[in-house]
Each structure stands twice: as C-alpha cells, then as structure tokens.
Structure 1
C-alpha cells in the first residue's frame, strides 16, 4: 500500500508505532490526549497540532500529510537524530553556535572523532550521527579560538566532523543533507594543513554521487582522490597506504558499477599490491584497509560485474577466521555480497541462510541497507519458512517489494 493511500490519522499511528502510545505522544507534544485521539481519528488536526506531532515524531509535516513517504526502515530515534544532525550541520556552517558551548581542545576533539568513526564502522549509524551533533559546534568553536595563521589543524578537525555527518546522512538516505555536509567538509579541508584531507573529502563526495546514481561523476572524483594521495611505496607510512588502498578500492567499486572491466582490473591490481605491501589490516582516518579488505571488496565487485563463478571462488578462498580483523560493518557487507552471489548462482537455501545469519547478527545495521530486499527478490516467490523469516526481518512480504509495507510487530520506516 502506498504511503499516500493512508489517511492522515493512520499515518500518525504508523509513525508512532508500537513503542509510543497515545498518552506518550500527548506528553511529548504537550497536547491533550483527546487532541491526539481526534487527530488519529481524522476528526480534527490544526496546523499547530500538526507541527507539534511532526516535531515529536521526527518527520516533516509533509510526511504526515502524505505528500512525502517516510524513509524505509527508519525508527523514531533515527528520524530524530537526522533532524538534529541537519540542524547542527546548517547552524554550524552559518556560524550559529550554542551560547554556552564547552570548547574541547584538539586532543579531545580528535578522540571524539575517533569515537564517531568507531560507532559508524560498527554499524551504529544513529549513535554515530548523535555523537556528531555536539561535535560539529565544538569543532567550530575550537576553530574560532585559534589565532590567525594557526588554524590549519582546527580546519582539519572541522572537515572530519562534517565528513562523518555526510557519511551518516548518505547511508541513511538523506541525500540533500549529505551533499550539504560534504560541501562544508570540502571548504574546511581546503583550509586545513593536512595533505590527505582534500582527498578524503573527494572520496566522500564520490560516495554520495555513487548512492545518487551519478556514476560518471563518482568515478572522476574517486580517481582524482586516489591520484592526489598515491604514495611512493618505498617510503609510504601505514596511514598513507591505508588511505590510498581504500581510495583505489572505492574507485574499483565505482568502475564495476559502470561495467568497465578493464578499469576494474587495473584498480584491483593496485589494491592487491597495496594490501600485500601493508601485510595486515590498518585503521586510519576513518577507514580500514589491508589484504583482507581488498579480498572481500573484490567479491562485491565480481558480483556487480555479473561474474558469479569468480565471486564464489573468491569467497571460498577467504577463511572465516580472517574476517575477524574487519569492522563489523565490513563483515556484514561481505555477508550481503556472499548471499547475493549465492542467489545469482541459484543456491537459494545457502543464500537465505547467509542472509538470515547476517540480519540476526546485525539488525540495526541491516535496517539501513537495500541489498537484503534485492536478495529476497532474487530468491523468488517461493513460500518457504526461511524466506518468510528473512522477509519479516527486513520488513517486506515474501518475494514482494511493491511499495510501502509496514510490519505488524514494529513500525519499519
């Protein structure tokens, strides 16, 4: 059923879900319970009431009115975080900082940035975004406190904060916010004294382009970012190799989406060489790279190119134990690529087994991924017990993805 087909009252009920009762919504909005009940029964809804309910539920008024559908699989904490994150990005860029802000020193800000990335790579995207909300004004306040000519590091910290905001927004489908945040990150990066910062931001913008289906633009930026930081291997630091390897790997991903096999081959060769040079996984600047990362990413690239046999061969060559060095999000993504390869090979039971294990292991991460629905579609309309279980986990009917379909156990938005 399409979102616009519900009544306004029904949309309010769906948005509050099973976790928020009418009495709770009345408390959240400072409205009378009778007012909430009247709104949900489509009896009475003033503009003032509409705005208070929308604010409490973390959505625009247009969502409640049915003019815009809510983002799939997004719960109230997700929606609230995105609204707060949007405010923090735009207010910080406009110089509107809280009056009583507590200014962190640069070491404290760097630690906060590391915590944001740790949450992000664990697949805790709502937590990561929530941590960025206070980080942005603190980084801007730190910048204000630096003397002219000594602001290079402070600009770099602000660029990092904006970049994390862009990553969270992009992953959660808030594309306009992602574009705004990565644009502010670029302006800050250009003023920093960090030679890696502009390339990191360019790679981030390329990812926004990729999610927005701007493949040509994504490839140009990914290539530019990789070229800008290509190290001389004989004297490259682990940090430089980590950043370069992740950039060249991403360029291979974009090239695979464009079905450019020759370019993919070239980039994967460079990625494998970088991973081999490193000898193990390294974490730096909000990313992780090494030989295991290169191998697992190659699986997703083979799947994107339709090389199912090659993808399965690569999977068999990756020991399960080696995956422990990856971030949780990277392990989950590998599981999705594995399940998709198995589905393409018509190994439906194996695909559903892989998918179900990943969904149970990382339900929060899975909420923000489109690939589980794609895999269910590929498996087909077979009415099997496991297919029904997997479909319930991702909030769709078995074998069907025909529009907005709220679950009965918990509202999936």
Structure 2
C-alpha cells in the first residue's frame, strides 16, 4: 500500500508508532486525548490540530496529508533530530546566533565535542550524533563570532568540522537537501580555516553525497581532485596526512567501481594499499579511520561492485580480525561480505552474515539500503532463513507499515 493511499488519521497513527501512545501524544501537543482520537479516526482534523500534531511528531504537514512519503526508516526521534539540525544549519549560516546562550568554552572544548560526535557517528548512532551536532554548531558559530578579526582561522576550521558532521548525518538519514546545504557551508568555512587539509576533506565529503545521490561522474571528479590535493610525499608524510590521503584515494576507488571502471579502480586500490602499508596500523584523523585493514576490507566491496567475486572471496579469506575497525565500518564490511557470498551463490552463508549484523546492529542497519539489495539477490534460494531476515528488515525500516522499499540508487 502506498503512503498516499492511507487516510490522514492512519498516517498520524503510523507516524506516532508503537512508542508513543495517544495519551502521550496529547501531552506532547497540549491537545485532549479525545482530539487525538478523532484525528486518528478521521472524524475531525482542523488546520491548528494538524500543525500542532505535525510539530510534535517532527513531521512535515505534507507527510501527514499524504503529499509526500516519510523517509525510509524515519522514526519520530529521527524526524525531530533532522528538523532541529536543519533549523540550526540554516540559522547559523545566516548568522543567527541563539539568544541567552553563553559560549560553553574555548577551542579545546569544541574539539572534545567534535570527537564525541564522530564517536557516535562511527558507532552507527546517527540520531545521537545529529542531536549533538545541533548545539555543537551553535557553539562553534558563537566561538567564531567571539574571535578577533585576523585570529579566526582555527575557529573557521572548527565550524567546518561541525557543518561536515551535520552533512554526514543528514546524508545517511536520507535528508539529501540538508546534506547539500551543510556540506556547502562546511566548504565555505574550510576555505577560511588555518588547516590546509580541510578543504580537501570537505570536498571528499561532498563527493560522498554525490555518490549517494547517484551523481557518479561528479562524485568521481571531486574524489579524484580531493585525493590529488592532499597527496603527500610518502617519505616525509605524517600519519594524519597518510590517513586523509588513504581514505580519499580509497573513496575514489569506490566511485570508480560504481562506474565499472576496472582499470581506474585498480589503480586507486593499489595506491590505497600502499598508503595503508606505509602506515602499518589503523589511525583516526579528521573524523575518519584508515590503515591497512580499512584498505583491505573496503577492497571487498569495490571488487563486488566490479563483478570480481573471486577476488572479493580471496580477500575475505585473508581477513581474520576486524576489531581494529569502527563499529560502522565492521557492519559495512559484513554487508559487503554478505553481498559477495550472495554473488557466489552461497545463499545460506550470505543470509547468516546478514542476519547476524541485523541482530547485532539494528540502529545502524535501519539507515542502510544494502540489506534489501542482498535479500533481493538471494531471492527464493532459501525459505525459512530468508523469511526471518525479511522480518528483521521490515521491523527496522518500517516497510511493514507500507513505507517504500530501498532502491538501487539509495543503496549507493
């Protein structure tokens, strides 16, 4: 059933979900329980009631009226987080600082919060990261405003980091317009920062947004430029420089693989592995993790995208321990592994890997499209296990409520 086919009352009930009762929604809105009941029964829904309920649920009125569908996997907390983040991104970019709020601390305090945001992001806790990113943006903007002219380079860098985190959260939660806006503000701030690596780091982030939006040629062009801009001399490069370069050139290989450019992808993979070998171990910098293990695990997905299933299987056999990766990177590798096994016709092993990840990381998985793609590939090859995995995906994404399934475009 399509979202537009539900009644307004049914859509309110679906958006309310199982976690919010009618009584709780009444308390959240200041309306009576009877008013909520009538709204959900399509007996009465005035404009004021519609606006009040939409605000409490963090949903656009157009979603309640069926004019547009809610985003995939969008729970109430997701909607509220994105709405707050969107307002903060646009307000800070317009120079509107919060009234009655004092700056919490200096640059060191902001860097600490930025690290906390990235920790949540790389654990796959995107709603938490987004909830923290909004006040972070406000504090970063206030910090910049308080710095004397000529002494703002560091503050611009902190603001660029804050916008970039916001863009990443928005992109993974499907809010593409917000992602584009935030990464644009991040780029403007990075160009005025005192850190020469930041503009390329932000450019790579924009390339990832292009990739998720299926703008593959634009994504490749930008990814290549970002990698070239930060390419260091291996003999003198710092570990931070190698981390940034390795992650950039690895992402260029990802984009090339989506374009089925085997030669270019192989060239970038070679450079990625060389950077990883030079580093010797995983390292975090600029909100990313890179090293030899990252280079190898991401090569699995790249080879799968190129149709080189045999190479991907060989790489999987060589990977014995992934504890050095972030939680989100481990989960993504598990999805790539499941896809490889599906391509190889190892249906049960593929579904075992997929099911284990869905159970271990439901919060991360509900923002991913790849599980649906894997299930579609397995098709009718397995019965009981396939039904069990489909039930897990449905419970996490809201597909059982009639939300639209993932598309190939959203899986990028």
Cα 1:405–1:267, aligned 2, differ >3 Å: closer, same or farther? closer
Look up the match of 1:146. Answer: 147
Q: How many residues align?
A: 402
> Structure 2: which 5+ residue stretches go unaligned?
406-412
Look up the match of 1:384. Answer: 383
Structure 1 position 385, deviation (Å) = 2.0
Q: Secondary structure at the match of 1:283?
A: strand
Look up the match of 2:11. Answer: 11
Instruction: Write the deviation string for residues 36-56 of structure 1: whole angstroms up to 9, x where unpaired.
Output: 111111111111110111111
Q: Distance in 1 between matches of 2:359 and 2:404?
A: 20
Look up the match of 2:341. Answer: 342
What is the 5 A alignment of 1:243-282?
243-282=244-283
Look up the match of 2:409. Answer: none
Q: Secondary structure at the match of 2:289?
A: strand
What is the 5 A alignment of 1:119-268?
119-268=120-269
Structure 1 position 74, deviation (Å) = 1.8
Structure 1 position 386, deviation (Å) = 1.6
Q: Distance in 1 between matches of 2:57 and 2:382?
A: 35
Q: Secondary structure at the match of 2:284?
A: strand
Q: Distance in 2 between matches of 1:218 and 1:402?
A: 34
Q: Distance in 2 between matches of 1:147 and 1:284?
A: 28
Cα 1:172–1:25, aligned 2, differ >3 Å: closer, same or farther? same
Structure 1 position 214, deviation (Å) = 0.4
Tell me if the contact between 2:72 and 2:174 (Cα under 8 Å) persists in the aligned partners: no
Deviates more, 1:304-313 or 1:245-254: 304-313
TM-score of the pair, normalised by structure 1: 0.95
Structure 1 position 403, deviation (Å) = 6.1
Look up the match of 1:35. Answer: 35
Look up the match of 1:63. Answer: 63
Q: Distance in 1 between matches of 2:211 and 2:334?
A: 21
Instruction: Write the deviation string for residues 15-36 of structure 1: whole angstroms up to 9, x where unpaired.
Output: 1111111111111110111111
Q: Distance in 1 between matches of 2:381 and 2:39?
A: 41
Instruction: Write the deviation string for residues 365-385 of structure 1: whole angstroms up to 9, x where unpaired.
Output: 000000000011111135622
Structure 1 position 76, deviation (Å) = 1.0
Q: Secondary structure at the match of 2:299?
A: helix
Tell me if the contact between 2:347 and 2:381 (Cα under 8 Å) persists in the aligned partners: no
* C-alpha RMSD of the superposition: 1.6
TM-score of the pair, normalised by structure 2: 0.95
Look up the match of 1:324. Answer: 323
Structure 1 position 363, deviation (Å) = 0.5
Instruction: Write the deviation string for residues 42-88 of structure 1: whole angstroms up to 9, x where unpaired.
Output: 11111111011111111100110111101121211111111111011
> Structure 1: which 5+ residue stretches go unaligned?
407-413
Q: Distance in 1 between matches of 2:14 and 2:187?
A: 39
Tell me if the contact between 1:396 and 1:405 (Cα under 8 Å) persists in the aligned partners: no
